[in-house]
A and B are shown apart, each in its own frame.
Chain A
Amino acid sequence: MTSATLARTKEGIIKWALFLCALFAIFAIIVITVYLFANGLPFIFQTGIDKFLFSSVWNLNAGSYGIAAMLVTTLVLTAMATLGGGVFGLLTAICIYKFLPRFLKKPVGFCINLLSGIPSVIYGLFGLSVVVPFIADYLSLNASGYGILSASIVLMIMVLPTMVSMSLDALNATDPMYYEGALALGSTKEEAVFKIMVPAAKSGIFAALVLSCGRALGETMAVILVLGGSVNYPTGLTVSVRTLTANIAMGAMELTGDDLTALVACGVVLFVLTLLINGVFALFRSKMKHV
């Protein structure tokens, strides 16, 4: 065997190994999708799409599986957390980018990244023992601290590391000449950052928002402890509510039969929701690039 053929076989093996790895990921997504739809869709049709999606009565004992209230809660909570976390995160990133003294940049960035290493159940416990009592004592009108207000505060903290580090990367990746040019033309530091650098980094910041949104949508363990858990529309900031993910997690270990299938059907709705959100964001993003 010549050294050339040996090299070619080696290359072939590596190529196939890489291909298999890629195949595994695709295989996983196909299996999960098939599992979800094969189990969930027949259930949704059997219950009736309108009853499943537009009724808010979720009572397992009576066989009513309506997810409208939980769907609305999921959307409202995700929007609140993404918005709050997005604003806080972007401003934090800007602060680290240009407004912090050099020797503080590393430690502050390190502290924020540390947040992403904390298990989500710890966030939940923090929310349960600090945020919920505080809201109940000082802000709530009905003496209860559970609800979307506490949940969105907890989620806001959880999406911060993603939001901050990704927007900071985006800001750092923009050409510093823009900034210097703006200063040279007589703009202040604030104007240069907010009017030149942030718009220049908008595509990266948008990507950060999408990822934060995904995390807020999928987060279960943290919100399950502070949401309250009753199936209600979020008619107030401190009304006990339940999200779709919380609904699945609450029942997944205990329920059987039709009740369990109903949870898989909730999973289908979440799956479609994730696809929709990603699709809408992708559309926005491609539009933004063309402008």
Chain B
Amino acid sequence: MKSIAAIAALTLLTSLTLSSCGAKEFDSSKPIQVITREDGSGTKAAFMEIIGLKGQPDVQNAIIQQGTAAVLAGVKNSMYAIAYDSLGYLTDEVKQISVDGVEGTVENIQSGDYKIARPLNVVYKEATVEGNPLYSAYLDFLASSQAQEIIAENGYVSMREGEEFVVPDNLEGTISISGSTSLQPLMVLLAQEFEDICPKVSVEVNGGGSGVGYSNGENGVSVFGMISEEFAQDKAPSCVPFTVAKDGIGIIVNLSNPIEDISLSDLKTIYDSEAEDPIRSWEEVIG
């Protein structure tokens, strides 16, 4: 009986200790915790290129998170964090801040006012796709008004008006798509819609990353390879790109952080490992 009492007391004590860990106040003198993505990530490549730090090593003591979900979890759990992530992924568990006074909204990305945005492309071999009615129908569908509706509904930025997609007769077969995990969730939704329109067609969408998108497109492993950056011809010499949509990259901080806006130059300094006058604490940014 003594041991049961001891265990009960221990459980009570643990839960009391844990529940006393309440929210702490934000202290702007604390260092900024820089969260970034792993090398090879399309989002990282796009972000670093846009803020002018292409190919630079990470800042000292940066936290590297694998994948967009891990970035969100990292920001949610760490009060002094700053990170970047695809707009399509942002949840209300983190706080998105504006850059140079421009909010990262669909309108601002379409108009080009919001600077931190990137294209979401598929790459394919022209000969393979044009010679095949199924593949070319899918490409037409990606440009159609139905597709644009799905793109806009899910927080991505539609780049064309699009005409209504009319289903050609007797479409059947399988389309394989693989690559960037940033484009993957949107492509899955588009593929489902296409399968609804053409019941005999199956569209397989796999991830792997932009690197896989290039190589699978180039080697013919997939009909379409997905890449989430500006198309680089040398990575897939025999392919051509098609821009499905644009994706803004949001700058996010913890919900308890009072900051609302950051300048592009401050943002650059935070992520610059070779900055002459590095920004270390939040008070230097919040002012």
Contact = CB atoms under 8 A, between A and B. Distances in A.
Interface of A: 59-62, 100-101, 104, 125, 128-129, 132-134, 136-138, 142-146, 224-225, 228-230, 232, 239-240, 242, 249-251, 253-256, 259
Contact of A229 (B56, B63, B215): B63
Interface in B29-50: 30-31, 33, 38-41
12 contacts: A104-B3, A128-B70, A137-B24, A143-B80, A224-B66, A230-B58, A230-B62, A232-B60, A254-B40, A255-B39, A255-B211, A259-B40
Given A142-B31, A144-B63, A133 B78 contact: yes
B210 interface: yes
Contacts of A129: 73, 77
B63 A253 contact: no
Nearest to A240: B61
B208 interface: yes
A251 B64 contact: no
B73 A128 contact: yes
Contacts of A60: 39
B80 A137 contact: no
Nearest to B235: A256
A240 B73 contact: no
Contact of B63 (A104, A230, A255): A230
A250 B39 contact: yes
A253 B3 contact: no
B74 A144 contact: no
A38 B16 CA distance: 56
Contact of A144 (B33, B57, B73): B33
Given A61-B55, A134-B21, A251-B40, A128 B61 contact: no
B61 A144 contact: yes
A264 to B, nearest CB: 15
Interface centre among A144, A145, A253, A254 (most CB of B within 10 A): A254
A230 B60 contact: yes
B209 interface: yes
Interface string B10-28: 0000000000010010000
Interface residues of B, number: 34
- Name the prevailing secondary structure of the B interface residues: loop
Contacts of B63: 144, 146, 228-230, 240
Contacts of B62: 228-230, 240
A254 B64 contact: no
Contacts of A143: 30-31, 33, 79-80
B64 A229 contact: yes
A21 B80 CA distance: 55
Contacts of A229: 38, 62-65
Nearest to B281: A143
Interface in B176-217: 208-212, 215
Nearest to B80: A143
A100 to B, nearest CB: 7
A275 to B, nearest CB: 28
A225 B33 contact: no
B255 to A, nearest CB: 13
Contacts of A240: 61-64
Contacts of A61: 55-57
A101 B3 contact: yes
A61 B33 CA distance: 23
A250 B209 contact: no
Nearest to A128: B73
Contacts of A254: 38-41, 209-212
A204 B159 CA distance: 66
B73 A125 contact: yes
Contacts of A255: 39-40, 211
Interface in B68-87: 70, 73-74, 77-80
Nearest to A60: B39
